[in-house]
Structure 1
Amino acid sequence: MSGGPKILITGASGFTGLHACRYFASAGYNVIAVTRRDISIDGVKVEQCDLNIKESVLNLIKRVKPQFLLHLAGQNHVGQSWSDPTGTLETNLLSTVFILDALHKECPESKSVIIGSALQIDPSNISAIPHPYSLSKTFQVLAARAWAELYGLSIVIAQPTNLIGPGKSNGVCSVFANRIAEMENHNAEQILEVNNLYAQRDFLDVRDAVRAYEILFRKGISKEIYPISSGKSQSLGEVAKIYKNMTPINFKIKSFEKSNREDKVRISSEKMNQLGWEPIFSFRTSLEESLNYFRRCPS
Structure 2
Amino acid sequence: MQPSLPYRSILLTGAGGFVGQYLVPALRSRMSGDATLHFIARKGSAAVDLLDPVGVHDLIERVRPDLIIHLAAQSSVGQSAGKAADTWRVNVGGTINLAQAVATVSPACVFAFASSSEVYGAAFNHGTVTENTVPLPMSPYARSKRAAEEALSDILGEDNRLILFRPANHSGAGQDTRFVLPAFAQQIADIEAGTIPPVIRVGSLTAERDFLDVQDVVDAYLRVLAAPVTARRQVFNIASGKPVPIGCLLDILLTLSSHRVAVEQDPARMRESEVPKTLIESNAIRDRVAWAPQTTLEQTIADVLTHCRTQQHKK
TM-score computed with the length of structure 2 as normaliser = 0.83
Alignment of 1:138-149 (within 5 A): 138-148=146-156
Alignment of 1:131-142 (within 5 A): 131-142=139-150
Q: Give 2:235's aligned residue.
A: 225
Residues paired across the two proteins, number? 288
How far 1:129 sits from its partner (Å)? 4.7
For the pair 1:179 / 2:187, whether they are aligned, the reply is: yes
Among 189, 198, 201, the residue aligned to 1:190: 198
For the pair 1:291 / 2:305, whether they are aligned, the reply is: yes
Deviation track 1:208-247 (CA, whole Å, cap 9, x = no partner) reads 1111111222335431211101111111111000001111
Pick closer, same or farther for the CA change 1:222–1:280 going to 2, 3 Å. farther
Look up the equivalent residue of 2:39 and give its one-letter code. Answer: A
Partner secondary structure for residue 19 of structure 2: helix
Q: Give 2:285's aligned residue.
A: 272
Q: Give 2:40's aligned residue.
A: 34
Give the distance between the partners of 1:166 and 1:8, measured in 2 at CA: 24
Moved more, 92-101 or 257-266: 257-266
For the pair 1:104 / 2:103, whether they are aligned, the reply is: yes
Alignment of 1:81-96 (within 5 A): 81-96=80-95
Partner secondary structure for residue 37 of structure 2: strand
For the pair 1:235 / 2:245, whether they are aligned, the reply is: yes
Aligned partners of 2:137 and 2:146 also within 8 Å: no
Aligned partners of 2:120 and 2:137 also within 8 Å: yes
Deviation track 1:8-29 (CA, whole Å, cap 9, x = no partner) reads 1111111001111121112236
Aligned partners of 2:181 and 2:301 also within 8 Å: yes
Deviation track 1:256-297 (CA, whole Å, cap 9, x = no partner) reads 438699744210111110021111111111111111112222
Moved more, 48-57 or 249-258: 249-258
Partner secondary structure for residue 226 of structure 1: strand
TM-score computed with the length of structure 1 as normaliser = 0.88
Runs ≥4 residues deviating over 6 A = 258-262
Give the distance between the partners of 1:123 and 1:193, measured in 2 at CA: 28
Among 160, 166, 174, the residue aligned to 1:167: 174
The runs of 5 or more residues in structure 1 that have no matched partner are 41-45
Aligned partners of 1:164 and 1:203 also within 8 Å: yes
Pick closer, same or farther for the CA change 1:100–1:262 going to 2, 3 Å. closer
Aligned partners of 2:7 and 2:67 also within 8 Å: no
User: Percent same amino acid at aligned positions?
Assistant: 26
Aligned partners of 1:162 and 1:203 also within 8 Å: yes
Moved more, 163-172 or 48-57: 163-172
The runs of 5 or more residues in structure 2 that have no matched partner are 1-5, 124-135
Larger RCO (CA under 8 A, 6+ residues apart): 2
Give the distance between the partners of 1:7 and 1:199, measured in 2 at CA: 38
